[in-house]
Amino acid sequence: MVFDKQKVDYSLYLVTDSSMLPDGTTLYSQVEAGLKNGVTLVQLREKDCETKDFIAEALEVQKLCKKFNVPLIINDRIDVALAIDADGVHVGQDDIPIPMVRKLVGPDRIVGWSVGFREEVETLAKWGPDMVDYIGVGTLFPTLTKKNPKKAPMGPQGAIKVLDALEEFGANWCRTVGIGGLHPVNIGRVLFQCVSSNGKRALDGICVVSDIMAAKDAGAATKNLRRIIDQGNYHFVNLQLKNSAITQETFKSVLGQVALTRPLVQHVTNKVHQNFGANITLALGSSPIMSEVKDEVHELARIPNATLLLNTGSVAPVDMLKEAITCYNNEQRPIIFDPVGYSATETRRLLNDTLLSHGQFTCIKGNTSEILSLAKLTVEKMKGVDAFVGNVDEEMLSRATRIVAYTYKTVAVCSGETDFVADGTENGHFTLSNGPVKTAIDLPCVKINNGPISIMGDITASGCSLGSTIACCLGGANAESNVFDAVVTAVILYKTAGKLASTRCQGSGSFHVQLIDALYELFHANEPARWTASYRML
């Protein structure tokens, strides 16, 4: 009798590897510690093992699994699986073809397949429900465990594509586990972000090798993984992520908190923006630091009210940018991401995608071109870093903003003559298997307008400085304030200041100065009732 495959719990899947066991542990002691503390599925994976030894090992692991009523899957070796009467097998793309596997193992055993691409999902959907029971979706992140990896890490966005394909091709029976480089630092984020675009499907679980097999205390490591999975919440920022009413009272309270806390805003930004952004930050009662030093980011992130503005027009080294993201995420401090010139060149797209898959951003702010290309609503390349000037209507811009908010589970801001702010943070909540059902179009979205301010386009770094303004407002916010409120406040304040400065300036030179003055004045007066930008919840 094999394990009833309808009853498999995929939430925490342990794949073994005997080559990484710490001193004083054995394959069996590690597997048992995992089973005792919440592993729900085990795969025996031995790449360098004589058949006889593999069978002996498999029988021992099988005893352990039976004791905990957890199914055992055998990697690659169908013969071994049949010989010991295992509950299932797992094969990769270059192993025995699935229809042959199924023929050999019969209808009742679990069959798993490693999948990374949409076309592979299309194939498994064509085979129908009697072939593949679950897929390992990966490789998610870089890992040293898999020797000679054939696939580049796909990140959460790649996993979303696989989930979307399962929905598109109607493979509703097929369960999914994320795999590759999964550790406590990224599992909450993966479970939070990896939801199909139609909102119906989330990952059924996660799969780890080294996090348990190489752990000095495999029991504690498993407990920690179990806690992250069962928590159902990903706390990436120590602010509130709730539905919001958007009132002048909230604007006033946000600015009041900024004045009170004087947040540190770390700018990693482009040269053109550095001086201007620092002055905008000072005008908003906040404290700028323009540091690109990798070794100090962990200290900076620990400063109360520290906030990171990451603007990828920057030339900072990628490992510095990644370290900064990791540190601010670990400290649950806000990160504002400005993907400057996303899609203008292949190099920029790659850099931005790398960073987007590296961490969780509290806010992603872009101009119309950047948001449209992040939302994959335009295939046109950007010309330099300027905003798209073609014919896009507001419906398309609000849709793009919502899609970016939804796919990155963030507050997305699209700046232009009309600004849009959409909230995809969903309280940081996630569930296994089932998505939130709602889709991008259901997300709250605010439209902000103050008439055309054409001179905005005649100075440098006006968009980048909206990023600074958002960073000040998010940085100042206290634990009871809502992320969406803080971002909306910043956008309305900035729009109001832009208009005011444009009525006072004589040209682009004095507009620069007037913009700083206007922000200074509006910030210190803190009278949102007099702000001129209009806002409307769509």
Rounded CA separation 514/517 (Å):
5
What element of type H or E holds 355? helix 346-358
193, 168 Cβ separation under 8 angstroms: no
469, 280 Cβ separation under 8 angstroms: yes
In eight-state DSSP terms, residue 173 is: T
Q: Which is nearer to ligand 3NM, 228 or 400 (CB)?
A: 228
Q: Which is nearer to ligand 3NM, 131 or 214 (CB)?
A: 214
Report, in angstroms and rounded to the nearest whole number, the Rg of the chain calculated over CA atoms.
Answer: 25
Minimum distance from residue 52 beta carbon to Mg ion (Å):
20
Contact segment (CB under 6 A) with ligand 3NM among 142-150, 189-197, 408-416, 463-471 equals: 142-150
Contact segment (CB under 5 A) with Mg ion among 17-25, 91-99, 267-275, 321-329 equals: 91-99
Rounded CA separation 13/59 (Å):
19
The verdict on 46 binding Mg ion (CB under 5 A) reads no
Question: Binding-site residue total for ligand 3NM (CB under 6 A)?
Answer: 16
Minimum distance from residue 138 beta carbon to Mg ion (Å):
13
Rounded CA separation 333/266 (Å):
11
- Tokens 């303004």 belong to 469
CA-based nearest residue to 17, from 45, 57, 52: 45
Contact segment (CB under 6 A) with ligand 3NM among 143-151, 252-260, 472-480, 529-537 equals: 143-151
* Torsion sign (Cα): 493, 495, 498, 502: negative
Rounded CA separation 510/39 (Å):
64
The verdict on 92 binding Mg ion (CB under 5 A) reads yes
| Sequence-distant (≥ 6) Cβ neighbours of residue 80 within 8 angstroms | 51, 54, 55, 58, 74, 86
Contact segment (CB under 6 A) with ligand 3NM among 55-63, 141-149, 414-422, 452-460 equals: 141-149
- Any idea how long the chain is? 538
* Torsion sign (Cα): 236, 240, 245, 246: negative
Q: Which is nearer to Mg ion, 41 or 464 (CB)?
A: 41
Footprint of Mg ion on 113-142 (CB under 5 A): none
In the sheet that 363-367 helps form, which strands lie side by side, from edge to edge? Answer: 287-289, 264-268, 307-311, 335-338, 363-367, 411-415, 418-423, 445-449, 534-537
Residue 449 Cα to chain centre, angstroms? 29
The verdict on 362 binding ligand 3NM (CB under 6 A) reads no
The verdict on 491 binding ligand 3NM (CB under 6 A) reads no
Rounded CA separation 36/520 (Å):
59
Residue 420 Cα to chain centre, angstroms? 21
The verdict on 95 binding Mg ion (CB under 5 A) reads yes
Rounded CA separation 262/228 (Å):
33
Footprint of ligand 3NM on 61-90 (CB under 6 A): none
Q: Which is nearer to ligand 3NM, 180 or 424 (CB)?
A: 180
Contact segment (CB under 6 A) with ligand 3NM among 136-144, 257-265, 376-384, 466-474 equals: 136-144
The verdict on 186 binding ligand 3NM (CB under 6 A) reads no
Q: Which is nearer to Mg ion, 94 or 346 (CB)?
A: 94
Minimum distance from residue 18 beta carbon to Mg ion (Å):
16
User: Is 464 labeled as catalytic in the residue annotation?
Assistant: yes
Q: Which does 182 bind (CB under 5 to 8 A by kind): Mg ion, ligand 3NM, none?
A: ligand 3NM
Which one is catalytic: 194, 414, 464, 472? Answer: 464
Side chain identity, residue 277 = G
Using CB under 6 A, pick the residue from 182, 283, 385, 471 that binds ligand 3NM: 182
Contact segment (CB under 6 A) with ligand 3NM among 174-182, 258-266, 331-339, 490-498 equals: 174-182
Side chain identity, residue 519 = L
Minimum distance from residue 75 beta carbon to Mg ion (Å):
6
The verdict on 143 binding ligand 3NM (CB under 6 A) reads yes
Query: What is the x/- site pattern for ligand 3NM, positions 94-133, by CB under 6 A?
Result: --------------------x-------------------
Query: What is the x/- site pattern for Mg ion, positions 48-87, by CB under 5 A?
Result: ----------------------------x-----------
Q: Which does 190 bind (CB under 5 to 8 A by kind): ligand 3NM, Mg ion, none?
A: none
Euclidean distance between the first and the last CA atom of the chain, given in angstroms as a whole number: 56
Rounded CA separation 383/411 (Å):
26
The verdict on 180 binding ligand 3NM (CB under 6 A) reads yes
Minimum distance from residue 114 beta carbon to ligand 3NM (Å):
4
Q: Is the peptide bond before 139 cis (omega within 30 degrees of 0)?
A: yes
Side chain identity, residue 384 = G
Token pair for residue 455?
A: 């001179």
Footprint of ligand 3NM on 2-21 (CB under 6 A): 15
In eight-state DSSP terms, residue 203 is: -
Q: Which is nearer to ligand 3NM, 146 or 349 (CB)?
A: 146
Side chain identity, residue 467 = G
By CB under 6 A, name the binding residues for ligand 3NM. 15, 114, 136, 138-139, 143, 145-146, 179-182, 208-211
By CB under 5 A, name the binding residues for Mg ion. 76, 92, 95
Active site residues: 464
